[in-house]
Structure 1
Amino acid sequence: MHRRRIKIWLAIAIIGMVILVGRLAQIQLISTESFSKYGVNLLEKSVAQRTQEMVIDNGRGNFLDQSGEPLIYKKVPVLILFPFLNHLDWPVEEVAAAIGVRDEALLRSLNKAKNPIAFGSPKPFRLSESQMEAINKLKIPGVFAVEKKYPLSDINAEQLIGITGENSTLLKDRYGEKEFAPRTLVGLSGLEKSFDEFLVGEGKSKLVYHVDGVGSPLFGINVKYTEPANPFYPLNVKTTLDKDLQEKAEKLVDQHQIKNGGLVLLDIETNTVLAMVSRPHLNRSQPFGDKGVQNQMLKQQIPGSVFKTVVAAAAIDYGLQPPSRTFDCNQNIYGKEDPNYQHGILDFTESFARSCNRTFADLAKELKDKDEGIIEAYAEKLSLTGKVGWTGSVFHTEDFEQMADEDSGRVFHNEEAKKDDNYVALSAIGQHEVRVTPLAVANMMATIARGGDKQMVRVVESVEYQNGSKVFGFNEKKLTGETVSPFTAQKLQKLLREVIVNEEGTGRWFQELPYAVAGKSGTAETGIMKEGEQTYNKWFAGYFPYENPKYALVTVNLGVHGDEGGVNPLFADMVKEVSAHDKTEEKTD
């Protein structure tokens, strides 16, 4: 019996030893880079225990505006202090004198430091060039003046630019077995995602020193500087955004209390995005928990009467709008008395200016009788269906999209709807299944302003090396497919201007602006009730100056009650800001 117990305990001991040896082998040999269900990199953690470092640059590329101003990160010249200085007799007075602070301030900042610090953090003390030179001339171990990359406190165009995160699985899916530094950031949305291959880090730049168990220098006090081998990296993505206009647009959207919606501003000559704002704000702690990560300017929305521009273009080409023809605008689209709008008897031009639903419902049904595909064809001619963002061949990628998050627009959801008079009438006024993106609407306005020249929209001008030379440039490209004729575009221009100059026009509020505006309003029922009431999408889309078009602008407020959330004041204020901006630019030139 006693011998049997000994054997049992011996067996337990052997099994225990095997388990311990197996666990040790897993830790030391097998799962060194992906330990446990959390994928812990044990090699990285081991090194981290024996080193302390200050990351100067995370290695990921930056976004710039059209003039080269940073949009995500900025480089700040700072003073880096290592905690082993607490155990040394170092010339703190000389350092303090070089940057014009009291030596007690430097010692205080170091007192409780366990890792290297940037003096003054979280708001680092910014050094001048002469101060940096003076510090580095002292050659004090553990004291460095460097340019450290910091994220900007206020990031504009946040949904357009997008977000990054740590995701080793996604890195492997995108780049196969290519090796990356631990905790490499990867683009998850927006331009960060579209341009990830250009932006993904080649490695961090950092100051590193080795320590023992209590944090004292292990191999002396020499600090090692490490950086990626290629001095041309990280790359920069130079956007077409104007930082000044973007900041003004962001402030205006918030001032006008747009909770869900935003604006798009295009440069008509180059067909590039100057500013793009989307609300709700991006919640960076839980970006995918609500709509905040979505760029509403690239998502399908119900356009309402903005879509009448499409019907007007088709009616012009098919001769359905002779000057003598009038429409009963006291009636709704079904030919019954309209309880809300009593516009009277109007001709085609007045109907467009005052946004008479009956006129465009009748015209759409007549177009359908000629050809069921006419309305869709004209929506395509005016760039409202399909995508309008720049796409093309970039190195080994044939169908590269600058704005990969962009939705396509549509008119009808199925073939049967094209044949139904009621559905066609509803579609004519931008209801039923009609869906367009604000970006596409802005591009429609730019296309009309250019006389029918239909182009892709660019938001990135080029990808550049650190020295500013181009890796790849994105040239202007035509959108494929047919477009409206110059004659039709000219007729549409006059209609859009009539919306403003007509004393009963839906854009008459814009008559006194510094730039002459042409445009179209829209109010669309969403079919969604809030607090027991129907909600609406409210639009104004247009371009300016009318005689010499330079800008296309769309403002939209989504899902608001009928008696609130109008976007005319936002549109007007943005036109004023653009005018003021242009005057400033002229003075500078």
Structure 2
Amino acid sequence: MARHIRHAAFFCALLLVALLVNAARIQIFRAKSFDDNPANRRATIARYDRPRGNILVGGESVTGSRDSGEQLRYERTYTDGPLYAPVTGFASQVYGTTLLEHTGDAVLSGTDPMLAPFPLVTDLTRAQGRGGNVVTTLNRAAQRAAYDGLGGRRGAVAAIEPATGRVLALVSSPSYDPAVLSGNAAATERSWVRLNDDPDKPMLNRAVRQTYPPGSTFKVVTAAAALDAGVVRDVDRTTDSPDPYRLPGTTTMLMNEGDGCEDAPLRDAFEWSCNTVFAKLGVDLGVKRMSAAAKAFGFNDTRLRIPFSVAPSSFDTSVDRAQLALSSIGQYNTRATPLQMAMVAAAVANGGQVRSPYLVERTTTRNGATMTTAGSRPVRQAMRPETADVMKELMEGVVTEGTGTNAAIPGAVVGGKTGTAQHGLDNAGLPYAWFVSWARGDRDVLPRVAVAVVVEDASADRADITGGGVAAPIARDVMQSVLKSSPDGGS
């Protein structure tokens, strides 16, 4: 009898061991497959079971969380959603996350290991910590000035601090309110469909995800390349530049919008944006030197992150001489984001150095303790310092005597460059209005801000566009708001 009891006990113990082994197999070795199973909602429920961390601008939160009382409890809210949408992106229970909501998701959702006071316990219990915060580099006044300046017109503004690369403003217009995508009700799906079907593409981040022909603003790059290479040694000496200029190897004649461009010195050609002078300069420099100059400014860089990805700006390196002439005045296949052109202006303002732009100053815990900081940023020499000094003079001349007088700020030194970019079939579309600039206050040692503005649906009056009538006033207001602000972005 005792033998049978021992056998039964042994069998029961064996079954118990088998159960424990199977439980361990499921909970440890197969845990990930169950976690990743679409039918498992536990992770999703846990994700929205507590408030999300916030994105801060100028020390104030521009995001929040609302208790919906539903199974997916907390929904994302936004303060001035359309104003900051090109920075925050959206955090949706249905459609995921974008922009800073995406790149900062680990911190904001509380899953970043640095937020766990006892990581080992957290790993074992799989408890989710409280979300941390993402502190941006934005200047509140500059962001508002850019948004109001565009006034709902299609276009974008990017502003950066030349000496550091801090992004001070990033605006895309028209915009949208990310809050309409936060929940999971039927209205959320309707909003998603409406926004995606909108021909104005409000969810397109034109400041960093849309490239445009930069037009005459690219002449900053061409002028810097010509000075660096010694093709131009004296900006006040006449150039060998016919008007009109026959594109090499073709019968096509390139014209100018105004008079006085024949053999114009570089200073005059820059102030009055003579196409013929810069097209010929590009040809004289050649593809190799022009390509190298564009690359030094950041063109053809596919790795730029701020921290979300930026569409690469492009300068075609496989062009013939006629195409090179057009590329050198910002046409043909030359394309740039507004952020890239802000980097071009910043390089001039910063003694020829390009600082990699960045949007996140630091991340913090819920209580404000710093977790990570931006740290030092890579530096690239776009032109020689002495060339940058000459380019500053040329850009100042555009504002004081040339086509960019609408960007002038009393009591400040401002440099700029206007641009008109043709597009559409046979260039039939309304030209894009561009303006790139930098500004230094009367008490500042170095320029404090560099700006690029593009307006898509600009006035059909070409003289007004070329004269900086559309984009230059927006740039002026952004620069003025930065100069009036404290360095930390407060007013």
How high is the TM-score relative to the length of structure 2? 0.73
Which gives a bigger RCO, structure 1 or 2 (Cα 8 Å, sep 6+)? 2
* Structure 1 position 499 matched with structure 2 position 386: no
Aligned partners of 1:186 and 1:200 also within 8 Å: no
Q: Is the 8 A contact 1:307 1:430 kept in 2?
A: yes
What secondary structure sits across from 1:311 in the alignment? helix
- Distance across 2 between alignment mates of 1:234 and 1:362: 57
By how many angstroms is 1:540 displaced? 0.5
Answer yes or no: is 1:249 the counterpart of 2:249: no
Match of 1:360 among 278, 281, 286: 278
In 2, Cα distance between equivalents of 1:462 and 1:455:
18
Report the CA distance shift for 1:152/1:337 in structure 2 as closer, same or farther (over 3 A). closer
2:253 paired with 1:326: no
Aligned letter for 1:454? Answer: V
- The Cα shift of 1:515 comes to 2.3
Alpha-carbon deviation of 1:74? 7.0
Tell me how far apart the structure 2 counterparts of residues 580 and 57 of structure 1 sit (CA, whole Å).
42
> Comparing both structures, which one devotes a greater share of its residues to strand?
1
Please list the CA deviations of residues 340-383 of structure 1 after superposition, one character each: whole Å capped at 9, or x if unmatched.
Answer: 42224421111011110000111111111xxx311110012222
User: Relative to 1, partners in 2 of residues 1:317 and 1:247: Cα closer, same or farther, differing over 3 Å?
Assistant: closer
Contact persistence 1:306–1:522 (CA under 8 A): yes
Displacement, 1:488?
1.4
The SS at the match of 1:573 is: helix
Q: Is the 8 A contact 1:186 1:196 kept in 2?
A: no
Aligned residue for 2:412?
515
Among candidates 299, 312, 315, match of residue 408 of structure 1: 312
Q: Distance in 2 between matches of 1:568 and 1:60?
A: 39
Partners in 2 of 1:277 and 1:375 — Cα distance?
30
Q: Hey, what's the Cα distance between the residues in 2 that align with 1:352 and 1:115?
A: 62
Instruction: Give the aligned partner of residue 59 of structure 1.
Output: 51
Give deviations 1:271-326, integer Å, cap 9, x for gaps.
Answer: 10111110121365224445222211113211001111111111112222234333
Secondary structure at the aligned position of 1:326 is classed as coil
* Match runs of 1:431-580 below 5 Å: 431-479=331-379, 482-502=381-401, 505-511=402-408, 513-528=410-425, 533-545=428-440, 548-560=446-458, 562-563=460-461, 566-580=470-484
1:152 corresponds to: 78
CA deviations over 1:474-508 (Å, ceiling 9, x no partner): 1121145x531111111111111111122xx1112
Q: Equivalent residue of 2:309, what SS?
A: coil
Shift of 1:191: 1.4
- Change in CA separation of 1:115 and 1:517 when aligned onto 2, cut-off 3 Å: closer
Contact 1:157–1:278 (CA<8 Å) still a contact in 2? Answer: no
CA 1:359/1:337 → structure 2, altered by over 3 Å: closer, same or farther? closer
Q: Note if contact 2:422-2:429 (Cα within 8 Å) is conserved in structure 1.
A: yes
> Helix, strand or coil for the counterpart of 1:549?
coil
What is the DSSP-based 3-state SS (H/G/I as helix, E as strand, rest coil) of the residue aligned with 2:353?
coil
The whole-number CA distance in structure 2 between the counterparts of 1:363 and 1:426 is 11
Q: Is the 8 A contact 2:423 2:429 kept in 1?
A: yes
Matches of 1:520 and 1:196, distance apart in 2? 38
Q: How does 1:139-538 map to 2 (within 5 A)?
A: 151-155=77-81, 156-166=83-93, 186-187=96-97, 189-200=98-109, 233-254=130-151, 257-258=152-153, 260-282=154-176, 284=181, 285-286=191-192, 287-290=195-198, 291-299=201-209, 300-321=211-232, 322=234, 323-328=236-241, 330-332=243-245, 334=247, 336=253, 338=255, 340-345=257-262, 346-368=264-286, 372-386=287-301, 389=304, 401-412=305-316, 415=318, 417=319, 420-479=320-379, 482-502=381-401, 505-511=402-408, 513-528=410-425, 533-538=428-433
**TM-score (structure 1 length as normaliser):** 0.61
Structure 1: runs of 5+ lacking an equivalent? 1-33, 49-54, 81-113, 117-147, 168-184, 204-227, 390-400
Q: Indicate if the aligned counterparts of 1:454 and 1:483 stay in contact, CA closer than 8 A.
A: yes
CA RMSD of aligned residues (A): 3.7
Structure 1 stretches of 4+ with a deviation exceeding 6 A read 583-586
Q: 1:443 aligns to what SS in structure 2?
A: helix
Deviation at 1:440, TM superposition (A): 1.2
Runs of at least 5 residues in structure 2 that lack an aligned partner in the other structure: 1-33, 113-125, 182-190
How many equivalent residue pairs?
A: 406
Q: Which has the larger radius of gyration?
A: 1
Distance 2:256 2:388 in 1: 34
Q: 1:73 aligns with which of 64, 68, 76?
A: 64
- Kept after mapping to 2: 8 A contact 1:331/1:358: yes
Helix, strand or coil for the counterpart of 2:169? strand
